[in-house]
Structure 1
Amino acid sequence: MKNHLWMSVAPIAALALGACSPKVEEKADNALNDTGAAVSGAVNSTGNAIDNAQQALMTTPTGQEFADAAAKSDAFEIEAAKLAATNAQSPEVKEFARMMVAAHSDSTAKIKAAAKTASPAITPNATLTKDQSEDLAELKALKGTEFDKEYIDGQVDAHEDALELMRKYAADGTIASLKQAAGEIAPVVEKHLSSAKALDKD
């Protein structure tokens, strides 16, 4: 979007510059730069507004729903990472998987502790969804570079979903202990997402 807006502004300014004195050219050039900055700012603001709107439209889960979704997400991440230990080829992918086992074991413990202090107490259900089970089955059948690609692609998607869940509950959740846990876990998930995206480009 930014490139299209910039291209529509630039030719008009360039025509005007052709008939100007050096001083006027400098003013016009400054105006062009200001216009470009304004366009960039508008595009960035629009992108942020869309993200905020999408998060606002997402229904806030109940405490039980949040705890279940977080538990299933952690369980899937750990199982997928265990497969990477034997099926992956790339050392970077294997290292990422080791980090996933440790980090998602930590977040599982954090969610369980927060759920236990809720009133009434909540017991997270970590049973994988049908889609998660099918994804794991597909990963089990792959080896080497094929596994690496499929695993990392899935990690990007899974962490995008997890980040949306954590941010939403941290902002609008109704159970204080779970809300705090979501707020603490969200930045960790965001780092994992960045790492997965970096591996996805390799």
Structure 2
Amino acid sequence: MLRWLIVLVAAVVAALSGVTAGYAAPPDVSDKDKAFLVAAHQDNLTEIQGGQTAERQAAKQSVKDAGRKLVQDHTSLDAQLKRVAEKLDVNLPSRPSEEQQAELRRLAAKSGAAFDRAWIDAQVKDHRKTLLALDEQVSSGSSEEVKNLARAAKPVVQEHLDLVESIQSGE
């Protein structure tokens, strides 16, 4: 009887181990993949908040319109990212990094033409940096899902860069 009970307990433990293993991140999700998801999510949050600020504070209509486009597109990109992160059991922060928050505060303190110039310059710099991060993830990431997410985001980010560079060169 005791032997049968030990076998039963071992079977239950083995079965439960299989159940909990299903909730763990798949083995092909590396720390680099997780870090990319966190950073990309924080970038999206920053772009959304910064775009909303541009909609309110920009002097030029082209900057207001760019802000609106960034809000829409980064909201959509972030929704896709959150689905992948949830599936891969990656916890995401609720706000931009401290450095990003400081940049958002710095921009929000400006108004008019000074805001426009500072915001556009920041967008050019940030979108160039993001394109490099996307390329890096595609070339050296472990998870195909995360790499596909980066591939899908690249044309959107390139479109944003083209947009803000065209506004920058028109000033």
Same-fold call, TM cutoff 0.5: yes
2:26 maps to which residue? none
TM-score norm. by structure 2 comes to: 0.78
Contact 1:156 1:197 (8 Å CA) reproduced: yes
**Number of paired residues?**
141
Distance in 1 (alpha carbons) for counterparts of 2:52 and 2:114 = 16
Q: Is the Cα contact below 8 Å between 1:67 and 1:125 reproduced in 2?
A: no
Aligned residues with identical type, % of pairs = 26
| Map 1:42-191 → 2, pairs under 5 A | 62-118=32-88, 121-191=89-159
Give 1:75 shift.
0.5
Using the alignment, how far apart are the partners of 1:194 and 1:161 within structure 2? 14
Take 1:170 and 1:112, find their aligned partners in 2: how far apart are those partners?
Answer: 18
Gaps of 5+ in 1: 1-59
C-alpha distance after superposition, 1:108-140 (max 9, x if no partner): 01111122222xx21222432222111111111
- Letter of the structure 1 residue corresponding to residue 130 of structure 2: A
Q: 1:91: how far off?
A: 0.5
Instruction: Give structure 1 regions of 4+ aligned residues with deviation exceeding 3 angstroms.
Output: none
**Residue type at the aligned position of 1:110:** Q
Q: Distance in 2 between matches of 1:80 and 1:62?
A: 26
Contact 1:68 1:126 in 2 (8 A): no
Distance in 2 (CA, whole Å) between partners of 1:200 and 1:129 is 26
- Would the aligned equivalents of 1:155 and 1:193 in 2 still touch at CA under 8 Å? yes
Q: 2 CA distance for matches of 1:126 and 1:177? A: 22
Give me the TM-score of the superposition, normalised by structure 1: 0.66
The whole-number CA distance in structure 1 between the counterparts of 2:101 and 2:50 is 10
* More off after superposition, 150-159 vs 161-170: 161-170
C-alpha deviation, 1:92, in angstroms: 0.5
AA at the equivalent of 1:98: R
Query: Any conservation in 2 of the 1:63–1:178 contact (CA below 8 Å)?
Result: yes
Q: Contact (CA 8 Å) 1:93, 1:199: kept in 2 or not?
A: yes
Taking the aligned partners of 1:171 and 1:129, their CA distance within structure 2 comes to 25
Kindly provide the CA deviation profile for residues 143-193 of structure 1, in whole angstroms up to 9, marking residues without a partner as x: 111100000000001101111111111222111211111111011101111
CA distance in 1, matches of 2:138, 2:86: 17
Gaps of 5+ in 2: 1-29
CA RMSD of aligned residues (A): 1.5
